[in-house]
Every structure is written in C-alpha cells, then in structure tokens.
Amino acid sequence: MIVSLVLVILFLLQSKLTPELDVNARIDRIEVYKSQRVLKVFSGDKELKSYSISLGFSPRGDKQIEGDGKTPEGKYFIDRKNPKSAFYLNLGVSYPTEEQKLVAQKEGRDPGGLIKIHGLQNGWGWMGRLHLLRDWTAGCIALTNGEIKELYDHVPVGTPIFIYP
C-alpha cells in the first residue's frame, strides 16, 4: 500500500521535474511516436522537449474511419488553435488529408476528423498526469493542461506534425 502511494506521488511529481520551454522558444516541428507514447518538439534539428501522451482508445494502426479510436499516422500540420476547447485548449491536426477523404469516400466510409492535441476535459484538469495510465481519447493526442498551454503558446498554425506508429 505504501509503495503504491509513493509510486503515485512520484508519478504526479514527474511533471514538475521537466523544465519549461524558454519564453522565446519557437517550435517548428512536432513528432509523435505512438508506440512510445511520446510527443517531441523541435526548433530546427534541436529537440526542445518531449512530453508523455495518451492516445485514442484503440491506438494501434492508422486512423481510417470515424469512431475507430485510432490516432492517425502520417504527415500533417497544425491547422488551427482553439482557446475555447471542451478539453482546456487544443491545436487542430489537419487530418484527414484530401487523399484520405477520397479513399474513405470510395469505400463508402467516413474518415472522421476533429483530431486535436489537447488537454484534459474541462473540470478534470486535477487529474494531471494520471490521464497517462490509459489511452482514452477518440483519436486525439492528450497532454496535461499545463503541457498543452505550453505548446499552445509556442506552436504557430502551419507547424508540421509527423505521427509515427
């Protein structure tokens, strides 16, 4: 019991151990490694920071249809910012591409959409890093509220994002 409590406390404190991005940092590329549950941000060739993430509830494989719980794979870009998200703040990911829409249309399926990098659902921010205990989104990439605030402040619209298996 005490060991479990200590592990939970260490888990929660871990987010306090990573330094914040420099106020002048400019992120020009995002890379997501689904199998490692990591999002990395770069300026040029320099990795600025990495974040632990949660993914869609069924993360293996590439997103193909609405409701499959998968996080897409491939090259996209940040296409919008939403300061009034139901999940604190969010950065929109440009999924689906025109090609993905055509493939889905030919198969008579809906490719889905509204893929975001976001924080925790409003009212649930207190969970912090506990959200990392399982994949829970509908296909998005989830961070703590403090982490998405940091990205929101440093990632311009148009930033490329590469999502790997």
How do residues 76-119 score in pLDDT, each as one tens digit?
Answer: 999 999 999 999 999 999 999 999 999 889 999 999 999 999 99
140 annotated active-site: yes
Helix (H, G, I), strand (E, B) or coil at 155: coil
Phi, psi angle pair for 150, to nearest 5°: -60, -45
CB atoms within 10 A of CB 124: 14
Distance, C-alpha 97 to centroid of its chain: 18
Catalytic choice (49, 70, 118, 129): 118
pLDDT at 41: 98
The residues, ordered by sequence, that sit 6+ positions from 138 with a Cβ below 8 Å of its Cβ are: 56, 57, 67, 69
pLDDT tens, residue by residue, 29-45:
999 999 999 999 999 99
Catalytic choice (140, 142, 161, 163): 140
| Rounded Cα–Cα distance for residues 72 and 113 (Å) | 10
Q: Report which DSSP code applies to 70.
A: P
Q: What is the pTM of this model?
A: 0.89
pLDDT at 141 over 90: yes
Residues in the chain: 165
Which CATH architecture best describes the domain 2-164? Beta Barrel (2.40)
In the chain, domain spans: 2-164
154 annotated active-site: no
